[in-house]
Amino acid sequence: MRILVIGSGGREHALVWKIAQSKLVDKIFCAPGNGGITKIAECIDIKAEDIPALFEFAKKEKIDLTVVGPEVPLAAGIVDEFKNYGLKIFGPGRKAAQLEASKVFAKELMAKYNVPTAAFEIFDNVDESNKYIKKIGAPCVIKAGGLAAGKGVVVAKTVDQARQAVEAMMREKIFGSAGDKIIIEECLQGEEASILVITDSKEVIALALAQDHKRVFDNDQGANTGGMGAYSPAPIVTKELFKEILEKVIYRTIDGLEKEGIDYRGVLYAGIMITKDGPKTLEFNVRFGDPETQVIIPRLKSDLVEVMLAACAGKLSRIKSLDWDNQACVCVVLASQGYPGNYEKGKEIFGLDKVEKMKGVSVFHAGTKIRIINDVGQRQESEYLTNGGRVLGVTGLGDTIKNAIDSTYQAVGKISFEGMHYRKDIGRKALE
């Protein structure tokens, strides 16, 4: 089989790495890919959002399966476009992708089908928003209604912070049209967990549990990011709790979509807050999480390509269960100075060769590129440069979460680039 993976981050590197292990696969392309992905796939200079170019490439290269990593092409309808011409593609269509592309759509669907979530109101007016904030007080949560690259959520500890967030989203348009409508909701207290499943709209297969770390600094301080690290499994979710989440969140959502006439095939990700009143849904994503994928995929022993093909065909019932490694996995994201704000690119990365020799450790590239250099003897050599906010996801396996943490941070200590920063407490919650 010839596979095309769309995207350029750590999630896509992990997916390419896993797909390359399948006996079904002969050739992998990645568009646009990154420096690390070039080692195991042919990277194609087509942006993830350029659906016409991706479509033409898939036709020309006789791609047997396309796997979509990021949310933007899904929201733009890439799956519908490919399916219209008989091209096999893994991911939900445009209508189903509204679960992530429109927080308004997601919250209204949850309210209609009794999916537990935070109490909320939707606004398209600054003055009305501020009146509501005054009424409910702080803390509260302000969310941009549309896609904002994982950064469109502000947990406001004071009324002033809440009003500033409303101004920034609705008047200053820091997230563009994503801030045309906003959601103001109660601030849930508890611990977060990430629940990912693969579905063909009828059957559901759960992936391993994971927990993400969204805030940029230790102890969950600082701005929200795309994710600064993760670990799997997530001990906070017991078997009983997991069953409750599947029944009240996952199944109700998929059934609700079906009642709305929407077919959902692909990965469904639910961000869950485990509160004293039970699990409540923070958000939905319509694709593999990042960096959750980097800790889930290394634990998966089954052939991922087989599962994705079954989901595409509506025959997921053929996959009786998935085989998982009992080891724990931890991923620490190494980020550029300034992330999630402005940051510089082009910093040389040192130490990757040392980490390659470590057993049970993988480095998934997120924001990197390769620069080819020629020495005096005309022997080609290459070096890796930073090319994004989140640069690398250093991932380690261990018999326990503590061992996985130790292994991962030992590897982190061997890597360096100018301005590199990372959280030093990834996985600590699991130990507590």
Whether residue 421 lies inside any domain: the answer is yes
Structure tokens, 224? 């929200």
Verify that 201 and 300 share a domain, yes or no: yes
Verify that 311 and 350 share a domain, yes or no: no
Domain end among 69, 93, 117: 93
Whether residue 61 lies inside any domain: the answer is yes
Whether residue 252 lies inside any domain: the answer is yes
For residue 297, give the CATH number of its domain: 3.30.470.20
Domain end among 318, 346, 375: 318
Verify that 167 and 278 share a domain, yes or no: no
Are 165 and 155 in contact, with CB atoms under 8 Å apart? no
Are 227 and 213 in contact, with CB atoms under 8 Å apart? yes
Verify that 17 and 78 share a domain, yes or no: yes
Domain end among 266, 296, 318: 318
Whether residue 162 lies inside any domain: the answer is yes
Verify that 371 and 299 share a domain, yes or no: no
Tell me which residue range forms the domain holding 66.
2-93
Query: How do residues 120-178 score in pLDDT, each as one tens digit?
Result: 999 999 999 999 999 999 999 999 998 887 678 899 999 999 999 999 999 999 999 99
Verify that 308 and 194 share a domain, yes or no: yes
Verify that 274 and 334 share a domain, yes or no: no
Whether residue 352 lies inside any domain: the answer is yes
Verify that 304 and 240 share a domain, yes or no: yes
Burial string for 62-99 (b: 16+ CB within 10 Å, else e) reads: ebbbbbbbbbbbbbbbbbbbbeeeebbbbbbbbbbbbb
Query: How do residues 237-290 score in pLDDT, each as one tens digit?
Result: 999 999 999 999 999 999 999 999 999 999 999 999 999 999 999 999 999 999
Whether residue 17 lies inside any domain: the answer is yes
For residue 142, give the CATH number of its domain: 3.30.1490.20
Q: Is the pLDDT of residue 377 over 80?
A: no
Predicted local distance difference test score (pLDDT) of residue 432: 81
Verify that 413 and 342 share a domain, yes or no: yes
Cβ-proximal residues to 104 (8 Å cutoff; 6+ apart), any chain: 122, 145, 181, 183
Q: Strand 266-275 vs strand 65-68: parallel, antiparallel, or unpaired?
A: unpaired
Domain count along the chain: 4
